[in-house]
A = this chain, B = another copy of it.
């Protein structure tokens, strides 16, 4: 009788409305029924990203989305600049190297993000065909100022390729207004879906570059998806149940309105950060992302004990640290199907667990602080 709750920064909990839609009998995808569904989904995805451009849906993970973007849109006659401020930035550089793309990694101190000024300075060299940015670096719980960066990139011929895996649907993101060229997303984060869908949004500026490249990839060749999309179709067998679920999830988000979804997420994140501060705990990021919060363990509390105890006693799944931060931090999500009551419950579970493991904290301090902040959630 332990109620399981996902506070991991993906996968996140899925609303019952979505689960029920996905549990319905399967239908075939080479039908008008699928095309009508997919048409509605595609409209919802454009609204999600504030774009009139194409949003492509692949069966795959967020990594597949980013790999498709990189293999298709990184010019082979130019250098690709990858901002590496965490495990995901590091991965996008690895993907580039896999395909022999000339990549330059810019190392960013963990807990901070590349700045617009740094991007502008690099672009001034004229060397780069694409700038790859992780909007919300999940491993360090850190957000980049994407709008300011996009304002620099759009002045040039370079493409801005963005890992929006833990940002789309959680942090403000307006592709067309800001001038973001490519965005890669996974379904299991703010979109309130199980894992299994990779989304790639592509601007007209990006298509022009992509059309000059012959990618050494078949399944991840975005051009095949663009061709089918004209008929609200897909080139290869789609993950039908997940796409049905996505229709429901997008409808739920749009019924609230994206700006409100973002501000709600920000409120949950703020409450968590302030609650941790009230408990005397230190958060890991100097530019915190509102989709995920990373918290240093107090002295004497082991990562293994903490995550095991909070899960077995309170059903709360939280994530540990990665790379250099493994064993030193834990991370909790504010994305998707999470509300103030969940968040305050999660903070209570953090208090109970730290107390049980001997940390010196005053039980009730965190939840009281969080309640004061969450009162503003609308």
Residues of B within 8 A of A348 (CB): 340-341, 344, 367, 371, 374
Given known pairs A344-B344, A344-B345, the reply for A339 and B372 (CB within 8 Å) is no
Q: Which of B3, B314, B339 contacts A315 (CB 8 A)?
A: B339
What does DSSP make chain A's interface, helix, strand, loop or mixed? helix
Residues of B within 8 A of A157 (CB): none
Contact mask A345-378 → B, CB, 8 Å, 1/0? 1101101100100000001110111111011000
Q: Does A37 contact B (CB under 8 A)?
A: no
Q: Does A124 contact B (CB under 8 A)?
A: no
Q: Does A256 contact B (CB under 8 A)?
A: yes
Residue picked from A3, A23, A253, A255, most chain B C-beta under 10 Å: A3
Q: Does A1 contact B (CB under 8 A)?
A: yes
- Give A1-48 interface residues, CB cut-off 8 Å to B: 1-3, 5, 15, 23
Complex contact B355–A346 (CB within 8 A): no
Instruction: Give the number of residues in A that approach B within 8 Å (Cβ atoms).
Output: 38
Complex contact B346–A375 (CB within 8 A): no
Residues of B within 8 A of A261 (CB): 1
Closest to A368 in B: B364
Q: Does A305 contact B (CB under 8 A)?
A: no
Given known pairs A1-B253, A368-B368, A371-B367, the reply for A346 and B341 (CB within 8 Å) is yes
Closest to A338 in B: B3
Closest to A371 in B: B364
Residues of B within 8 A of A363 (CB): 368, 371-372, 375
Q: Which of B5, B253, B341 contacts A314 (CB 8 A)?
A: B341
Given known pairs A341-B349, A345-B342, A352-B374, the reply for A1 and B256 (CB within 8 Å) is yes
- Measured in the bound complex, the distance between the Cα atoms of B150 and A90 in whole Å is 70
Across chains A and B, which 5 residue pairs bring their CB atoms closest together, nearest first? A341-B345, A364-B368, A368-B368, A364-B371, A367-B367
Interface positions of A (Cβ within 8 A of B): 1-3, 5, 15, 23, 252-253, 255-256, 261, 314-316, 337, 339-342, 344-346, 348-349, 351-352, 355, 363-365, 367-372, 374-375
